[in-house]
Amino acid sequence: MNGIVFLYVMKGNAADMLTNDKIRNIAIVAHVDHGKTTLVDKLLRHNGCFRVNQNMPDRIMDSNDLERERGITILSKNTSIRYGETKINIIDTPGHADFGGEVERIVNMVDGVLLLVDAFEGPMPQTRFVLQKALDAGLKPLVVINKIDRPDARPFEVIDKVLDLFIDLGANEEQLDFPIIYASAKWGMAKDSLESSSDNMVPLLDAILAKIPSPAGDPDQPLQIAVSSIDYDNYVGRVGIGKIARGTIHKGQELILCDLQGKQAKVKISSLNIFEGLNRVEAEAAAAGEIIAISGIEDLNIGDTLCSSEKIEPVSFARIDQPTISMNFIVNDSPMAGREGSHVTSRHLKERLQRELLSNVSLQVEELSPDSFKVSGRGELHLSILIETMRREGYEFAVTRPEVILRDVNDVIHEPMEKLFIEVPEEYMGTVIEYTSRRKGEMVNIDNSGTNTVKIEFSIPARGLIGYRSGFLTQTRGAGLMNHIFAGYEPFKGDISGRTRGALVASEAGSAVAYGLYNSQERGVLFIGPGTEVYEGMIVGENARSGDITVNVCKRKQLTNTRASGSDDALRLVPPLVLSLESLLEFLADDELLEATPQSLRLRKTILDKTSRERASRNKNRVS
């Protein structure tokens, strides 16, 4: 969902129609974990959106279970606060570049951005990405130096780095003259200078009113609304969210819907809501500058325009960056298919992916066959979030190894490139540079500021990052940090060696037992423990050497009448290695699949039978 779906009807003047000068529309953008959602929490609390005795969780805007578990914002969401006579509509956006489509599609809903920057870390790679989108859209920036309560905070150095970043991104003179607010979202405090004292968010709210322009648009002109977001409600169906560019809308009004293909249709608005705090409030009318949620239009999509019949003028939709990585979603055909999921057929899979396209603007789906769909997105995280979401909804399916999307430019193959930013202790610098170079990474910049930490920037093919993170954490003993952003397309850099170790593959179906696992663990690292149901062709571990080996984890010890000293001692099993969804996707080879069900994640060979698998491998080698 792209918003909070609680629906309340408020009485009094809360839902009265506002004029442009009484509205501010802002988006909050920042790098991951720089405090966007926490800041919104404090603004809502300062505004009195919660009762004194109301027990509200932290990061209330991260309403999605996955967002709360991972501590990141995945979907952009709308809320609003009242400050004096002014209404401030706030959009909380994701900080990760994989969800950049969420940022790109909301830029035409706002007139300014709050750029949050950590008072110690300064501008980070994702900061560059989201700020570039805001500046390109001509939005007015307001810089908030957050976490000034950190003992290692260095706000003046960070401000210099922010200014350098603005210049580097080609900001105009008006954008370069950005106001600065110092804040600690954790403690609900903001101030306009480090020397002043404050215990509330008033200085930030004052700055928003003074520095962020009110929305343009004449409420007396013919109506025009650009739909920037789509939500779904079980009671009213599809809900379109967007800003009124001009004119005034009324509940029950008949409008002209213009889609991205140029088609027009007459539609009627059945319900009209505006945002008040965390709620959607029913309204009879809304004027230019207001962000609204409307329902009653079945075929409404992101990028569509709603106009009055007096003046039909579609709005050009913001360009969404194209996907760089893809994988195939396949109907699960393993021996355990249908045991755990409630949606298992190709019809279920196709309908779910088509529904995802309605709100996920940076996703693309292509039907390869009735049972296979090519799904393209911004990165591994983008697609892994989709996989995890579908699992939790009861879907059961299999996915292939992620692959980058190549382009043919003037008969030359080009591949997506990424800017990779590494931060590691000095002693691991050489190891990381060597490891990255093997994946065709080229060092662009290195910054050793005298501390024990080194910051390195690489240019690396996107395919070089598939499976990179797990090896990077091993090389740095878990002490390294990495971020990456898309940097464009360049000529193909050559082959990159894949996984160097093979897989341990189950040779028969059954339940894994301690005796079989004990004999198998000598061959490598196991992914399963005793009692796990397996089938022939299922991957149960990683081989210590190259090449695949079949193992019998279901083998039981033969019972005899003979007892020997030491032979009946308790078997000592090494605890299995439990891999996350992202780690499993990184582990996949070209001839392997990841089986995703609501309860399990299993690795398997595409061809389960050992003899058929070896025959296919020989034929492939003969052709190549």
pLDDT at site 470: 75
Read off the pLDDT of residues 6-20 as tens digits, 9 standing for 90 and up. Answer: 333 333 343 467 788
pLDDT at site 318: 64
Helix (H, G, I), strand (E, B) or coil at 29: strand
Architecture per CATH, domain 407-491, reads as: 2-Layer Sandwich (3.30)
Read off the pLDDT of residues 325-370 as tens digits, 9 standing for 90 and up. Answer: 899 999 999 999 889 989 999 999 999 998 888 777 788 999 999 9
pLDDT at site 48: 60
pLDDT at site 59: 44
Confidence of residue 34 (pLDDT cuts 50, 70, 90): low
Confidence of residue 152 (pLDDT cuts 50, 70, 90): confident
623: Cβ contacts below 8 Å, ≥ 6 apart: none
Domain edges within the chain: 20-211, 224-307, 407-491, 503-591+604-623
Rounded alpha-carbon distances, angstroms, from residue 540 to 220, 525, 527, 593: 67, 9, 5, 13
pLDDT at site 296: 86
- Given a contact cutoff of 8 angstroms between Cβ atoms, the answer to whether 192 and 182 are in contact is yes
Task: Tell me what the mean pLDDT of segment 49-57 comes to.
Answer: 48
- Given a contact cutoff of 8 angstroms between Cβ atoms, the answer to whether 101 and 320 are in contact is yes
What DSSP character marks residue 520? H
- Alpha-carbon gap, residue 511 to 488, rounded angstroms: 48
337: Cβ contacts below 8 Å, ≥ 6 apart: 344, 396
CATH of 224-307, one of 3.30.70.920, 3.20.190.10, 2.40.30.10, 2.40.100.10: 2.40.30.10
Task: Tell me what the mean pLDDT of segment 260-273 comes to.
Answer: 87
CATH number of 20-211: 3.40.50.300
Of 115-129, 145-159, 216-230, the range with the lowest mean pLDDT is 115-129
pLDDT at site 567: 53
- Alpha-carbon gap, residue 77 to 294, rounded angstroms: 15
Does domain 503-591+604-623 correspond to CATH entry 2.40.50.250? yes
pTM (predicted TM-score): 0.77
- Given a contact cutoff of 8 angstroms between Cβ atoms, the answer to whether 440 and 460 are in contact is yes
- Given a contact cutoff of 8 angstroms between Cβ atoms, the answer to whether 108 and 316 are in contact is no
pLDDT at site 56: 47
Considering only CA atoms, give the Rg of the chain: 27
- Alpha-carbon gap, residue 420 to 227, rounded angstroms: 34
What DSSP character marks residue 49? -
Average pLDDT over all residues of the chain: 83
- Alpha-carbon gap, residue 96 to 385, rounded angstroms: 12
Confidence of residue 79 (pLDDT cuts 50, 70, 90): confident
Percent of the chain scored above 90 by pLDDT? 25
- Give the bridge partners for 182, in sequence order: 145, 191
| DSSP assignment string, 196-218 | S--SSSHHHHHHHHHHSPPP---
Nearest alpha-carbon partner for 75 in 145, 5, 124: 5
Read off the pLDDT of residues 577-603 as tens digits, 9 standing for 90 and up. Answer: 888 888 888 888 888 999 999 999 999
- Given a contact cutoff of 8 angstroms between Cβ atoms, the answer to whether 549 and 533 are in contact is no
Confidence of residue 61 (pLDDT cuts 50, 70, 90): very low
